[in-house]
């Protein structure tokens, strides 16, 4: 296969169609079901955006109210999930804990107990809402456990963002924080054929169940070249310390050929369309918590890196420090991304199943030429 063109990392390969979102790097735009993500972040709740991603249209008032009722009723954790959490080391990486819990949630679904019929559009819509409702309760419990605190039960009088923050911190959140958090969830919700979504679609294409596809997607999201970058950005901030140290730190980092987390993107080469909205949310948090030092470090690293390399920040760059200011542990940042992206993953899983073709590409072999085990004499039947 000497003349086969190999697209390393599938870069530039159009693997299928999708109606869920459109990324246009030329116009620097991202549309969810046709709506610019900035407009959704400025005007909608995360619940409404989740509905949009699954159903293709924003909900009417009645549809939203019905969806919210269902979502709120599905928030509490099963005792078996609380027991499972207690079996895992408190300081195990939260991505590993959440991945394990999602896998367990699949075992509660008795429609999956027998092989076959694992994909069903109606059941999968219900399973998607279930995961959407459960994940904040799981992530908040994991965050509290890391701090030696008991989980806080969900409240059905609070919307998604307020309830998530309530369960994590045990106090009514300030509207500034709610707004920034809601925006981050919307911005993280969907991004076409990124690595974790593609993983989910590969698994769905085998007609395995939705929980298996989401569990696999979480594994793909963990890496710092993808979702793990928001956690990694915060380690950079900790390492650099303050704005005055950026130049010296960057000299050394670039000399060592380090990748600077939170910068660069496979598709966007002139800036990530989600960054200005998230940077706006970060600015409101900086003012709210009176942490200009974070903003100074952010600006100094961005301007110095962009000037030297011409590589722009991606969404993880502003969302890392935003989550830090809200008070989450750094290791919880990527699980927050899971809670958001589960909407996009499940929309893609259902889309894949609706017009499925098994995803099974080819490889160009580059190993040893054919060879044989010395002394082996094939059976006559094998010849």
Catalytic residue ranges: 265, 316
Whole-Å CA distances, 311 to 110, 262, 264, 274, 306:
48, 10, 6, 15, 5
Residues 109-138 that bind ligand CMC (CB under 6 A): none
The structure tokens listed for 60 are 């009417």
Query: Taking CB under 6 A as the rule, which mask of x and - marks residues 296-325 in contact with ligand CMC?
Result: ---------------x--xxx---------
Distance (Å, whole) CA 292 – CA 283: 9
3-class secondary structure, 278? helix
Total residues in contact with ligand CMC, by rule CB under 6 A = 19
Q: How far is the CB of 192 from ligand CMC (least distance, A)?
A: 11
Contacts of ligand CMC in 226-255 (CB under 6 A): 226-227, 229
CB of 246 to ligand CMC, least distance (A): 14
Shortest distance in whole angstroms from residue 279 CB to ligand CMC: 15
| x-or-dash string of contact with ligand CMC, 5-24, rule CB under 6 A | ----x---------------
Least distance in angstroms from the C-beta of 274 to ligand CMC: 9
CB of 113 vs ligand CMC, minimal distance in Å: 35
Q: How far apart are the C-alpha atoms of 109 and 231, rounded to whole Å?
A: 32
DSSP assigned state of 238? H
Q: Interacting stretch for ligand CMC, rule CB under 6 A, among 82-90, 103-111, 261-269, 340-348?
A: 261-269
Options 260, 275, 294, 340; binder of ligand CMC; rule CB under 6 A: 260
CA-CA-CA-CA dihedral for 234, 239, 241, 246, to nearest 10: -100
> Which is nearer to ligand CMC, 108 or 235 (by Cβ)?
235
Residue listed under structure tokens 């690293």: 301
Contact present, 207 and 356 (Cβ < 8 Å): yes
Dihedral sign for Cα 336, 341, 346, 347, please: positive
Query: How many CB atoms sit inside 10 A of residue 248's CB?
Result: 10
Q: Residue for token digits 């593609």? A: 198
User: Using CB under 6 A as the criterion, what x/- string covers residues 140-169 for binding ligand CMC?
Assistant: ------------------------------
Chain residues binding ligand CMC by CB under 6 A are: 9, 194, 224-227, 229, 259-266, 311, 314-316
């Amino acid at each position: 296969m000497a003349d086969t063109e190999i697209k390393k990392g599938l870069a530039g390969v159009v693997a299928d169609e999708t109606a869920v979102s459109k990324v246009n790097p030329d116009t620097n735009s991202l549309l969810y079901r046709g709506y610019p993500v900035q407009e959704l972040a400025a005007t909608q709740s995360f619940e409404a955006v989740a509905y949009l991603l699954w159903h293709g249209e924003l909900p009417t008032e009645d549809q939203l109210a019905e969806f919210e009722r269902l979502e709120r009723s599905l928030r509490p954790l099963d005792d078996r999930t609380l027991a499972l959490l207690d079996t895992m080391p408190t300081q195990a990486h939260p991505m590993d804990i959440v991945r394990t819990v999602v896998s367990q949630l699949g075992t509660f679904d008795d429609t999956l107990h027998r092989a076959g019929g694992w994909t069903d559009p109606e059941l999968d819509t219900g399973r998607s809402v279930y995961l959407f409702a459960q994940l904040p309760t799981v992530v908040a419990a994991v965050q509290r456990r890391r701090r030696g605190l008991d989980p806080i039960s969900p409240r059905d009088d609070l919307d998604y963002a307020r309830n998530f923050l309530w369960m994590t911190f045990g106090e009514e959140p300030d509207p500034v924080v709610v707004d920034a958090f809601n925006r981050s969830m919307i911005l993280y919700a969907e991004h076409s054929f990124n690595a974790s979504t593609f993983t989910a679609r590969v698994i769905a294409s085998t007609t395995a169940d939705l929980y298996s596809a989401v569990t696999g997607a979480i594994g793909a999201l963990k890496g710092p070249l993808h979702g793990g970058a928001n956690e990694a950005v915060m380690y950079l901030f900790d390492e650099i310390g303050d704005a005055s140290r950026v130049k010296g730190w960057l000299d050394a980092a670039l000399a060592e050929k380090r990748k600077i987390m939170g910068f660069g993107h496979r598709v966007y080469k002139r800036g990530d369309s989600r960054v200005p909205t998230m940077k706006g949310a970060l600015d409101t948090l900086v003012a709210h918590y009176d942490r200009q030092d974070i903003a100074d470090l952010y600006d100094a690293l961005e301007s110095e890196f962009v000037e030297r390399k011409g590589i722009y920040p991606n969404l993880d760059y502003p969302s890392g420090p935003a989550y830090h200011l809200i008070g989450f542990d750094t290791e919880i940042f990527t699980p927050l991304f899971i809670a958001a992206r589960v909407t996009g993953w499940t929309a893609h899983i259902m889309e894949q199943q609706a017009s499925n073709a098994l995803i099974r590409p080819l490889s160009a072999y580059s190993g040893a030429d054919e060879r044989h085990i010395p002394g082996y004499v094939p059976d006559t039947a094998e010849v």
